[in-house]
Amino acid sequence: MRQSSELETTFFVTAVAVSARLGHVLKEAKNISLEAMNAKALVARAGENVRTFKPITDYMVELANDTIRLVADIDQEALRISKASLIALRGNEAVNHFNTAKVKAQKALYRDSFEPALQDAEKDLHLFQQNLLRNIRRLNELLEEIENRMLAANVVTSTSRLEAATVSPLYRANFEAIVEKFENAAKTIRAIVRECRKVLNVR
Amino acid sequence: MQTIKLFEGPFHEWIVFGRDSEKIDKIVDTNQYLVKTNREAILLDPGGIELFSSMLAAVVHFLPVEQITHLFASHQDPDIISSLGLWDKTLPTATLHAPWIWEGFLRHYGCNNITYNPIADEGGTLKVDGIELEFIPAHYMHASGNFGVYDPQAKILFSGDVGGGLNSHEDPMFVQDFDQHIKQIKTFHQRWMPSEKAKEAWIKRVRKLDIDLMCPQHGAIYKGKDIDRFLDWLEDLEVGTALRSS
């Protein structure tokens, strides 16, 4: 477990950085959605010959929509983390100021009079840090959810390849191209999400 | 942090805190004032956030911190009151008296618990445990909403930035050689004070007061005849110079 005192120090930057990276995920998710639409159109045109592709395209659409929704949730969570970490940072600074005053006031007659203020500041800080930890955990969960979906996308890609190999040569190249784009988008998303999780865990 | 008792009357005292040798080099040196009775106290221009721990440590030599029931901010600058968020945690039941125009701005420093008492443009009075203090308008000297504090019993005027200079923490707390002193404060007044009209109005107002000590928020404190010398010098000084040269 990382030290609580260091948690808040740069998290307001980290959260924003994660949010910025996810802009690319959104772009790729929209690409998946577009490819899924293309695949659907192709399935409709090819008819009975490629009916096994229908559930795959449905899944692609679902995956894209879920990813877009998750990115929106992550954006909200990143904003909450950014705010929570700034509050925690200010709380930490307050505690530091009071502790410095305590050292400087060692010989002062009324040095104990600000002890309640210090204790309140410490209590506040603990609460701020707990909130921040909760927000970070939630962000990690959301990122994990996207990553899991992209792992599932791998399975779908393999199935799709097999299916593409069996369809009429007339449509095969088109389906293979769709599968490849889908695979690439999923790979890119996974790489970005992994990077985001790494950034969060390095802290 | 140096502390000097400026006045000791039957019911109240004035103490100045300043020349903090531990402050960060590049931040301006400031004077903070405490007016205390046996039961209550007011901190005048409590200082910047960087100074908070030194100030808190210094005031608890004189009173338990809960005895500070009032804060005063002459205007909105960070060296005056950017410590507000921390005083807000220390003195949650205190009242901050500050120009009404700065309320929305000062709250950016953090003011969740302290009560904000907006001072009207014409000024007003405040009784601290029976001691009456007057908020003297000093608008545009230098901030557009600005007050000094006058204590008629102690004959002390807290003049905010007027009379101040960008001093070093090694400079004396009182003006020793007026002619030398004004060299240090000339540029500050020419540049920071924007209006001849405001300057004249302030001088006229202050000349009516009976003052033994004029205490600026920066620099050295004026005693006796140096106060009149300063007012005469300021009267002749052209202010708002940046406007003329631009």
Full set of structural domains in chain A with CATH: 4-104+119-202 (1.20.1260)
Q: What is the pLDDT of residue B241?
A: 84
| Residues with Cβ within 8 Å of residue A188, at least 6 apart in sequence | A24, A28
**Is A118 near chain B, with CB under 8 Å?**
no
Nearest C-alpha neighbor of B129 from the set B191, B68, B46 = B68
Across the A/B interface, how many CB contacts are shorter than 8 Å?
Answer: 58
The candidate with the shortest Cα–Cα distance to B37, out of B120, B127, B155, B111, is B127
| Cβ(A82)–Cβ(A12) below 8 Å | yes
- In one letter, which amino acid is B2? Q
Asked if residue B136 lies in contact with residue B206, where contact means CB atoms within 8 angstroms, the answer is yes
Average pLDDT over residues B128-157: 98
Name the range with the highest mean pLDDT among A19-33, B97-111, B158-172: B97-111
Residues 39-68 of A with CB under 8 A from B: none
Euclidean distance between CA atoms B176 and B166, whole angstroms? 16
Looking at per-residue confidence, does B150 or A199 come out higher?
Answer: B150
By Cβ distance, the residue of B49, B64, B85 closest to A110 is: B64
The rounded distance, in Å, linking the Cα atoms of B3 and A137 is 49
For residue B54, list chain A residues with Cβ-Cβ distance below 8 A: 101, 104
Alpha-carbon distances, residue B98 vs A41, B146, B158, B170, B201 (angstroms): 69, 8, 14, 30, 20
Contact B61 A110 (CB under 8 A): yes
Please tell me the predicted confidence (pLDDT) of residue A203. Answer: 52
Between A33 and B82, the more confident residue is: B82
pLDDT at A9: 52
A114 → closest Cβ in B49, B62, B90:
B90
Domains annotated for chain B, with CATH where assigned, are 2-237 (3.60.15.10)
User: Which token pair is A84?
Assistant: 């929570």
Strand arrangement of the beta sheet that strand B147-151 belongs to? B124-128, B131-137, B147-151, B156-160, B213-216, B222-223
**Which pLDDT belongs to residue B128?**
98
Q: Residue A16 corresponds to which amino acid?
A: V
The model's pLDDT over B199-208, given as tens digits with 9 standing for 90+, comes to 999 999 999 9
Q: Residue A111: its chain B contacts at CB < 8 A?
A: 57, 60
B21 contacts: CB under 8 Å, gap ≥ 6: B1, B169
DSSP bridge partners of B17: B3, B32
Q: For chain A, which residues score pLDDT lower than 70?
A: 1-10, 202-203
How far apart, in whole angstroms, are the C-alpha atoms of residue A118 and residue A77?
A: 30
Cβ pair B60:A105 closer than 8 A: yes
Find chain A residues with C-beta within 8 A of B63's C-beta.
110
Which of A97, A114, A120 is closest, CB to CB, to B65? A114
Residue B131 reports pLDDT greater than 90: yes
CB-hemisphere CA count at 13 Å for B164?
26
Percent of chain B at pLDDT exceeding 90: 91
Q: Rounded to an integer, what distance in angstroms lies between the CA atom of residue A100 and that of residue B57?
A: 9
Q: In this structure, what is the dihedral angle of CA atoms B138, B142, B144, B146, given to the nearest 10 degrees?
A: -40
Query: Cβ-count burial of B46 within 10 angstroms (0-12 exposed, 13-18 middle, 19+ buried)?
Result: buried
The verdict on a CB contact (< 8 Å) between A117 and B57 is no
- DSSP states along B53-99: HHHHHHHTTTS-GGGEEEEE-SS--HHHHTTHHHHHHH-TT-EEEEE
Q: Could you read off the pLDDT of B43-81 as tens digits, one per residue?
A: 999 999 999 999 999 999 999 999 999 999 999 999 999
Closest CA to B58 of B36, B85, B25, B78: B36
Rounded to whole angstroms, how far apart are CA atoms A91 and B239? 42
Cβ contacts of B61 on chain A, cutoff 8 Å: 105, 107-110
A2, A203 Cβ separation under 8 angstroms: yes
Which residue in chain A is spatially nearest to B67 when comparing CA positions? A113
Is-contact B100 B124, C-beta < 8 A? no
Tokens of residue B168, six digits:
């070093």
Rounded Cα–Cα distance for residues B29 and B55 (Å): 13
Give the residue with greater pLDDT, B87 vs A179: B87
What is the rounded CA–CA span in Å between residue A62 and residue A73?
Answer: 16
Integer Cα distance of B2 and B65 in angstroms: 18
Average pLDDT, rounded, for chain B: 95
Site of tokens 């690409």: A31
pLDDT surpasses 70 at B31: yes
Relative orientation angle of helices A169-202 and A115-166, to the nearest 10 degrees: 160
